[in-house]
Amino acid sequence: MHATDLKAIAEASRKETSPAEKDSAARMAALMHHMFLYDRGNQLRVVEESGLSMTQCKVLLELGGLGRSAEAWQVSDLAELFGVSVPSMSRAVDALVKAKLANRVEDPSDRRVRRVKITAKGKSLVATLVTVRLTGIESFVATLSAAQRRKLDAAVEALMEREDIAQTYEHLKGSDRS
């Protein structure tokens, strides 16, 4: 399924959604929209200046440890993760390799298999993207009152029980942004 296939997206989301869930989703969407644009579009500007497509950017962030933190990925696994065809993912990876943001490496357990691994240049771009994102969020959080920040912290803390969110938090907390 492609993101532009609105009918397929609607079909996939046909499960019953309560009015409370819909309201929570709308509140989250409003916050995410505000957060994404709060820093005057700096995140988008960095992605645009990198010349990466959104798929390439997502792959790079995944390879950079902001996702499932696999050391190296097979193209087919990346395609499945992001819901694109293997040929489409292969082209995205080829562009990352050409830009020296990733490289293809031999699988240590099966020499016939090639995996995709991030390079130092790719890690540097991921660090830039993370820094820009976190700087924008930090600027936003600084505008909150102490009471608003406590409520935000309590809500986010409850979400840290999810392994996927906690893993990304640990990665971000341990990253060197100085």
- For residues 146 and 144, give the distance between their C-alpha atoms in angstroms, rounded to a whole number: 6
143 found inside a domain: yes
Phi/psi of residue 102, nearest 5 degrees: -150, 165
Q: Does some domain include residue 19?
A: no
Summarize pLDDT for 65-111 with one digit per residue, the tens. Answer: 775 556 789 999 999 999 999 999 999 999 999 999 999 998 888 88
145 assigned to some structural domain: yes
Q: Is residue 168 assigned to a domain?
A: yes
Render each residue's pLDDT in the chain as its tens digit; 178 residues.
455 566 666 666 667 788 999 899 899 889 888 887 778 888 888 889 999 999 999 999 999 877 555 678 999 999 999 999 999 999 999 999 999 999 999 888 888 888 999 999 999 999 999 899 889 889 889 999 999 999 999 999 999 999 888 888 887 777 655 4
Cβ atoms of residues 62 and 122 within 8 Å: no
Domains held by the chain: number: 1
Which among 137, 134, 130, 100 has a CA at the least distance from the CA of 117?
A: 100
Instruction: Please state the φ and ψ torsions of residue 39, each to the nearest 5 degrees.
Output: -90, 30
Q: How far apart are CA 132 and CA 110, in angstroms?
A: 38
Q: Is the pTM of this model over 0.85?
A: no
Task: Establish if 21 belongs to a structural domain.
Answer: no
At 83 the three-state DSSP class reads: coil
Residue 17 covered by a domain: no
Residue 23 lies in a domain: no
Average pLDDT for the chain:
86
Task: Say which CATH number the domain at 75 has.
Answer: 1.10.10.10
Domain with 103, as residue range(s), is 42-174
Residue 161 domain flag? yes
- Measured distance CA(175)–CA(57) in Å, rounded: 19
Give the sign of the dihedral formed by CA 150, CA 153, CA 155, CA 157.
negative
Report how far residue 62's alpha carbon sits from residue 78's, in angstroms, rounded to the nearest whole number.
9
- 43 near 36, Cβ under 8 Å? yes
Structure confidence at residue 11 (pLDDT)? 66
Task: Report the pLDDT value the prediction gives residue 177, as an integer from 0 to 100.
Answer: 52
> What CA–CA distances, in Å, run from 1 to 39, 55, 84, 96?
31, 14, 7, 23
